[in-house]
A and B are shown apart, each in its own frame.
Chain A
Amino acid sequence: MDFTWTDEDAAYRARIRAFLDRELPDNWDEIARHGPGSPEQTEFSLNFCPKLAEEGLLIPHWPEEWGGAARPPWEHFILGEEMWRAGEPRGAQYMNVNWIGPVLMKYGSDAQKAQYIPPMAEGRAIWCQGFSEPNAGSDLASLRTRAVREGEDYVINGQKIWTSYAGLASTCFLLAQTGGAEGGRSGIAIFLVPMDTPGIEVRAIPSLIGHGDIHEVFFTDVRVPASCRLGEEGEGWSIISYALANERVGIPRYEMGTAELDAMVAELKRRDAFSDSIVRSRASAAAAACEAARLQVYRVVDGRARNEPPGNESNLARVAVIAAEQAVADFGMDFLPDAFSGADHMSMLSHHERAIVTGIAAGAAEIQLNLIARRHLNLPKGA
């Protein structure tokens, strides 16, 4: 066992930090305070990601064939950590890098790859993920948006909701039913749908996490050529399972939590308010939650680096990450309450928002707990 970084890893991290120091603009804090899912940040990414790409820091883990350098999983992960630590200047594009690109490489037709992968590799593509629907949240397989084959085309009707980045996205990674009336997993197919196709309407949902972060997307008689389908009809569920297993731990959120905890402590010190033992031990408790999350996430990455099949560790890691986000947010709420009522610590506010979001988006906490109970603890299924 070795919990230290190699010199190579450390140098790589230093190189990324130096790049961020150099390339993030002076008003980055202003942009970043809207949060990683904001339109401000998504727009910013269109300027920033091409620079990352030029520096070889956008898709280093991709195969060389697609512009990557086939770098190992740990480097990819360090990159993700540093981006999150800085507030995720890649905006929506982290999804391309982490899973949409790799999924297209594996399942895409030659034409799909040629059309979609190069713009991602250049840092110029915004995608959105059209999974959730009003009646299909945690129970995603019950989605009802339907794609009906008509000759060489499909005609899509239905509604997606909570879609991040939809306002600025050029393409939607869409799940729809093509099977019989019974629906369910076996009827799901994936479509790569240009967002400017007639019949698509995007409405931003006013929300606690800012305007333009989440959307409803309506599909009314949206006609796309059959060549937009990714994989076969009925193959959608296994493709997204692959995609999400590939993703496994998703976002290294504890990294932003750790950075924010340090910022909060610095602020408390500035106010002469960090001598109280209650404050000090609570700060440490939040740090411990972050460390517990970090190590559990690292264990998942370690599995990937050693080519082990995905296990249940990623579900444990997700739950640990939620606890970490909440511990940091609670610390801020308790000891810097003015930050949440108009004072100047807006990043803490965005953090507080994340503390709720982390337990919901990308699969609710309870779903993770169900999976841990059944698969990791071998507890029986209920009657």
Chain B
Amino acid sequence: MRFALNEDQATFATVLEQMLATAEFNTVEGWGRYDLGTALDAQLEENGFYEAAREPDLGPVAAALMVYEAARAPVCFECAASALIRPYAGRDLPRPLAVVHGEARGAIRYLPQARGLVSITADAVRYADLPEGAVTPSESLYAYPMGNVDRAALDWEKLDVDPAEFDTLWRIAIAAELTGVLQAGHDAVLEHVRDRKQFGQPLGAFQGVQHRLATGAVEIEGAKLQMLKAAQSRTAQDAALALGFAQGIATRITYDLHQFMGAMGLTLEHPLHRWSYRAKLLRADLGGSAASYLAYADERWGAA
């Protein structure tokens, strides 16, 4: 049992943090529902960050940490699938990469940018290139680029991998991304309630505000540790539990974060929505918390 990162992971984390802190990536130009972090993404790719999962001294823990850290940026870019799915595909896949799980319907995040689509079902993992013009970008409430594609029209290739393993990896990836957006939203709101004064004192001095933020901090920490543990073990059981927990806390936390921002949190100018409206999508992914918990129950206690 050791909670400190190893030397390579620590260096990886420090460099990553520096790159993410670079001001140019944090100033958002337009006031859209999201902004693409294309430059940051390119820099991560050039520096080999997306290969971390298969590097012996970095491994999936570093890759999951990267997904978590990248999710904290106010800009968004496809990281989760590239960091935790692509390295295990058994062959070179292009990126950005979109993922669809099971028979999930509707728009898929990052599809408009993606060069390929991975489909994870119970019996197989398949891959298809996304030819020019195949994707129709769609309007969406969420802080992601979303798009639709006629899946039946794609040229699918079955990957020689274990679908159960990919199911697990994808759960870990979503748990990492969701924990990251919650953490970033939380940090932004903390900053706000330290500064904003009403009734002659900072909002953050009111106990009613403090306790809810403190409770949120405990929950996010619990989600993060479970996610990292799952990244290390890569067992279906740990992954389902980590995702179920993260999805379970996400709803109340995102309401609280908007609550404490007041009307400011409803503006496109304030970045909170860039995290909270990613959380809203991720908390429902793969059937949401209850579905993840059912998967866990199967692993832990077996059939009825």
Interface residues of A (CB under 8 A from B): 1-5, 9, 74, 265, 269, 272, 274-275, 277, 280-285, 287-289, 291-293, 295-296, 298-299, 301-303, 306, 316, 319-320, 323, 366, 368-370, 372-374, 376-383
- Interchain CB contact (< 8 A) of B1 among A74, A281, A319: A74
Known: A320-B222, A376-B217. A4 touches B1 (CB 8 A): yes
Cross-interface CB contact of B244 among A4, A284, A298, cutoff 8 Å: A284
B204 and A379 within 8 A (CB): yes
Contacts of A299 in B (CB 8 A): 3, 225
Instruction: For the complex, give the distance between the alpha carbons of A380 and B225 in Å.
Output: 27
The chain A residue sitting closest to B299, CB to CB, is A284
7 contacts between A and B (CB under 8 A): A281-B289, A284-B300, A306-B4, A316-B218, A320-B221, A369-B211, A376-B217
- Residues facing A in B154-211 (CB within 8 A) are 190, 193-194, 200-202, 204-207, 209-211
CB neighbours (8 Å) of A369 from chain B are 210-211, 214-215
Question: In whole angstroms, what is the CA distance A301 to B2 when docked?
Answer: 10
Q: Using CB atoms and an 8 Å cutoff, list the residues of chain B in contact with chain A.
A: 1-6, 9, 61, 190, 193-194, 200-202, 204-207, 209-211, 213-215, 217-219, 221-223, 225-226, 228-229, 232-233, 240-241, 244-245, 248, 289-294, 296-297, 300-301, 303-304
A306 to B1 alpha-carbon distance, docked (Å): 11
Query: Assuming A281-B294, A288-B296, A298-B1, what are 13 further A-B pairs, CB within 8 angstroms?
Result: A2-B2, A274-B301, A284-B240, A284-B296, A285-B293, A291-B245, A302-B4, A316-B217, A369-B214, A370-B214, A377-B214, A379-B210, A380-B201
* Cβ-defined contact, B3 with A269, below 8 A: no
Residue of A nearest to B296 (CB): A284
A20 to B4, CA, bound (A): 33
Judging by beta carbons under 8 Å apart, are A372 and B218 in contact? yes
Min CB distance, A365 to chain B, in Å?
9
Closest approach, in angstroms, between the C-beta of B299 and any C-beta of chain A? 9
Given contacts A316-B218, A320-B218, A373-B213, contact A285 B6 (CB under 8 A): no
Main secondary structure, interface of A, reads helix
> In the complex, A298→B225 CA distance in Å?
10
Interface centre among A274, A368, A380 (most CB of B within 10 A): A380
In the complex, chain A residues whose CB is within 8 Å of the CB of B244: 281, 284-285, 288
In contact, B225 and A287 (Cβ under 8 angstroms)? no
Give every chain A residue within 8 A of B297 (Cβ-Cβ).
Answer: 280-281, 283-284
A275 to B213, CA, bound (A): 36
- Min CB distance B2 to A, Å, is 4
Check A302–B221 contact: CB distance below 8 A. Answer: no
Which residues in A have their C-beta under 8 angstroms from that of B2? 1-2, 302
Residues of B within 8 A of A1 (CB): 2-6, 9, 61, 228, 232
SS of B interface (majority): helix
Q: Are B241 and A291 in contact (CB under 8 A)?
A: yes
Q: Which residues of A contact B190 (CB under 8 A)?
A: 377-379
State A265–B296 Cα separation when bound (angstroms).
13
Q: Which of A5, A302, A370, A380 is B204 in contact with, Cβ under 8 Å?
A: A380
Cβ–Cβ < 8 Å partners of A269 in chain B: 301, 304
* B residues less than 8 Å from A275 (CB atoms): 303-304
The 7 A-B pairs with the shortest beta carbon distances in the complex, nearest first, are: A292-B222, A275-B304, A373-B210, A284-B293, A295-B225, A281-B293, A372-B214
**A380 with B226: in contact, given A277-B290, A281-B294, A285-B244 (CB under 8 Å)?**
no
**Which residue of chain B lies nearest to A300 when distances are taken between CB atoms in the complex?**
B3
Give B275 Cβ to nearest chain A Cβ, in Å.
17
Residues of A contacting B228 with CB < 8 Å? 1, 3
Give the interface centre of A275, A285, A303, A366 by most chain B CB atoms within 10 Å.
A285
Q: For A380, what are the chain B residues with a Cβ–Cβ distance below 8 Å?
A: 194, 201-202, 204-205
| Chain B contacts for A282, CB-based, 8 A | 293
User: CB within 8 A of A3: which of B201, B209, B218, B229?
Assistant: B229
- From residue A273, how far is it (CB to closest CB) to chain B in Å? 8
For the complex, what is the distance from the CA of A306 to the CA of B206, rounded to whole Å? 36
CB-defined contacts of B6 to chain A, threshold 8 Å: 1
Residue in B61, B211, B248, B301 whose Cβ sees the most chain A Cβ within 10 Å: B301
Is A272 a contact partner of B200 (Cβ separation < 8 A)?
no
CB contact between B214 and one of A74, A274, A277, A373 (< 8 Å): that residue: A373
Task: Give complex CA distance A170, B233 in Å.
Answer: 48
**Residue from B211, B289, B292 having most chain A Cβ neighbours under 10 A:** B211
In the assembled complex, the CB of B298 is this many whole angstroms from the nearest CB of chain A, namely 8
Query: For residue B210, which residues in chain A have a CB less than 8 angstroms away from its CB?
Result: 369-370, 373-374, 377, 379
B residues less than 8 Å from A379 (CB atoms): 190, 193-194, 202, 204-205, 209-210, 213
Q: For the complex, what is the distance from the CA of A285 to the CA of B213, rounded to whole Å?
A: 21
